[in-house]
Amino acid sequence: MAHPPAAGPIAFLSDVHGNITALEVVLAELERLDVKRVYVAGDLLLGGDEPLEVWQRLQALGAICTRGASDLALGSVDPGSLVPIDEEQRRQARLFSDTRGAIGDLVAERLRRLPEQQRIPLVDGREVLMVHGSPADSNREITHDLNDDELLALLDDDPADIIVCGSTHVPFQRTVAEYHIVNVGSVGAAPEGQIAHYTIVTPRMSSADILQDWVSYEQPEAS
């Protein structure tokens, strides 16, 4: 999918994990900041109680998404084939089955068909690559503690100038060689709990301003 060159601010999110409350507070903040283009780096629906609501909200927004590991699983794994062997695996299997039932076959198939990468040109001629894990492998994470050689191996000589990723739930920025790596953290499953991360990239003629921030929210009590 070709994207028009970005001349204004664009938002990058990741790892919503079916948390509509967290997503809504981030989208409200983006609206306040007048950011209209939204990209989401995968792991959209599995984990929270509102997977279908998250999908519908992202679709209504026109968000451009890549596929995370949990998205692929929801689109390709039969819940009946899961054979949990302990209580934690049984809990995860129930969550997976409930999520798959909530979203239905059509959404599951659309998750399966999401691309692993999105490339976004910037007005100055540079390019952003958005992936869930890394350019080398969508399931291999770019973590903050990798050394330069380990990180470069995951970038796989990709020509993009800015690599945007998620998966780890921990936001950070790192420059190595000619690459600038931006992990955008997590909207719906931040390790800190009840905060939602977001990143805004604002293209300039010779560079890009990158803002990483978060908003807090209160999760409604289960009824």
pLDDT digits (tens, 9 = 90+) for 39-49: 999 999 999 99
Give pLDDT, residue 1.
63
Closest to 76 (Cα-Cα) out of 46, 53, 105, 116: 105
Give pLDDT, residue 4.
79
Q: What residue type is 67 in one-letter code?
A: R
Q: Count Cβ atoms below 10 Å from residue 88 Cβ, excluding itself.
A: 9
The first and second tokens of residue 91, run together, are 């809990």
Q: Count Cβ atoms below 10 Å from residue 116 Cβ, excluding itself.
A: 17
User: What is the fold of 10-216?
Assistant: Purple Acid Phosphatase; chain A, domain 2 (3.60.21)
Give pLDDT, residue 46.
97
Give pLDDT, residue 177.
92
Identify the segments of the chain with pLDDT beneath 70. Answer: 1, 222-223
Q: Where are the domains of the chain?
A: 10-216
Give pLDDT, residue 186.
98
> Cα–Cα distance between 213 and 171 in angstroms, integer?
9
